[in-house]
Chains A and B, each alone.
Chain A
């Protein structure tokens, strides 16, 4: 597929030639690592005050990922801007005139942004883990402990999938303001509320981020989710696939 190679190259040029790429991804790393380090340091100081039950449930790996809730918002902004910049600037008409095969256009764009998000996500996850663990002192986990490496890799995958999901939603909605206005409050507030209120928990735990969190956790005592780490991950993947199918179905037929 010579055409796809050309379009991938073109999308790479696009993504690296705008400033929003650097600041959104940079912010994602900084916020996730810094907040994770802070929460880890605080947890170490408070550990002695914890009840026995909380000590058993204490998950040093997941604690070092405490910044991801905020850091993922920067990844969402990245995903939304990669797609909706085309619409808000009018570039989409130039782009589709150059690449009229809309599937090739959409999936090349998403592939390039996904690879970049994966690289940044993995860096973020590993750095957040090591910095967080160094803050936790004697309560720390190490990569060799059971489930820890899976959780750290899972953290990188989670950040990536959130980005891809955002790209799918942004393709469907086109407007950056509308996309961010829906995705940011949803992932920052609505989802965690639904997932923590007992009445809605049954439904809430199937939301993409709630299900996706599972793969980043090591200690899951007292967790009644009906799926394991990779089960939760699969649920998140299904959400992403659904968003991409919706994005392609709309883009394929829509007037640019």
Chain B
């Protein structure tokens, strides 16, 4: 278990991490989600006592990281695939880590085998591909057979096979009762692996919720309607007590009424429909909506285009808690 209490990091007058408090529990994969520059890596470095917090603490199973004897046996971390000396062989890289924590040399061969690098164990890591470097980093994290594992953007730059492998690895580690904390800036990736979500933006906690709850609250479904007889359709909907939202290109979006009922309604009034389609806002859109306000480096697209896909209408109730309310004003 990892406990963050009011964790804060300030660089000059910029707050990279701002009063982060949350608990990462064992037995599940916890996704640590946020846009680039949200403070994910800084937070993870502070968890490993690499960076000193400006305020707040991190407790690893109730202890500070620096108090751990043989920390690799408690926490395994993959921070950066290139955090190794390229002139050292994969075997020697792992051996020096193992020795520093009193881990037997036989374990080095075991983890090399686990990550599939046995055949290149004697090769210098300089010549490794990104995927091989990532695997070597993961081997280092697994070395001490730790109860807690942390991965910073583990799927970055991997091929589909590698991504699949890492997903399964994380799920298996969690299933063994370990604490698995994995950062990503991709909601779609988290949706496939994480059981719990911690979302941050500009260093602040935006959400700390189970994946199921996040999906329930954020995957807005609606029906899109398009008709050449726009005014009559509006009247018919109003008469039936349905409040549609008209979008910029003239289509209507209806929340909370299923497509079959809307089709029957139009048929009863003899209105021609050119489109009647149920829509599901993706989790990616929900995540972007959640963090839109806190994204640090916006790509400047055309002004009409809100960062979130922007289907939030004025009558749209904010999903879940108050967060994300701001982007609605912006998006509509």
Report A's interface with B, CB cutoff 8 A: 2-3, 6-7, 9-11, 13-14, 17-20, 85-86, 89-101, 253, 255-256
Contacts and interface: CB of A to CB of B under 8 A. Distances in A.
Nearest to A93: B83
B68 A13 contact: no
A10 B101 CA distance: 9
Contact of B66 (A3, A95, A100): A100
B88 A17 contact: yes
B128 interface: no
A94 B140 contact: yes
B85 interface: yes
Interface stretch (B43-51, B272-280, B301-309): B43-51
Contacts of B163: none
B84 A91 contact: yes
Contacts of A101: 66
Interface of B: 45, 48-52, 65-66, 68-72, 75, 77, 79-80, 82-89, 92, 95-97, 99-102, 140
B92 A90 contact: no
A170 to B, nearest CB: 15
A96 B84 contact: no
A94 B89 CA distance: 15
A256 B101 CA distance: 19
Contacts of A255: 45, 50-52
A106 to B, nearest CB: 13
Given A10-B100, A20-B87, A256-B50, A97 B77 contact: yes
Nearest to A105: B100
Nearest to B48: A97
11 contacts: A6-B100, A6-B101, A18-B87, A18-B88, A89-B83, A91-B85, A98-B71, A98-B97, A100-B48, A100-B71, A255-B51
- Ranked nearest first, the 3 interchain pairs of A and B with the lowest CB-CB distance are A10-B100, A17-B92, A10-B99
A153 to B, nearest CB: 32
A95 B45 CA distance: 13
Contacts of B101: 6, 98
A98 B88 contact: no
A100 B68 contact: yes
A255 B82 CA distance: 18
Contact of A89 (B70, B71, B86, B97): B86
A93 B321 CA distance: 38
Given A91-B83, A91-B85, A98-B71, A6 B99 contact: yes
Contacts of A96: 48-50
Contacts of B49: 96-97, 100
Contacts of B70: 3, 6
Contacts of A6: 70, 99-102
B183 to A, nearest CB: 15
A6 B104 CA distance: 11
Nearest to A254: B52
Nearest to B91: A17
Contact of B50 (A2, A3, A85, A97): A97
Given A13-B96, A93-B80, 18 more contacts: A6-B100, A7-B100, A9-B100, A10-B99, A14-B85, A89-B83, A89-B85, A89-B86, A91-B83, A91-B84, A91-B85, A93-B50, A96-B48, A97-B77, A97-B79, A98-B71, A98-B97, A255-B51
Nearest to A99: B100
Q: Which of B82, B83, B84 has the most CB of A within 10 A?
A: B83
A17 B88 CA distance: 6
Contacts of A10: 96-97, 99-100
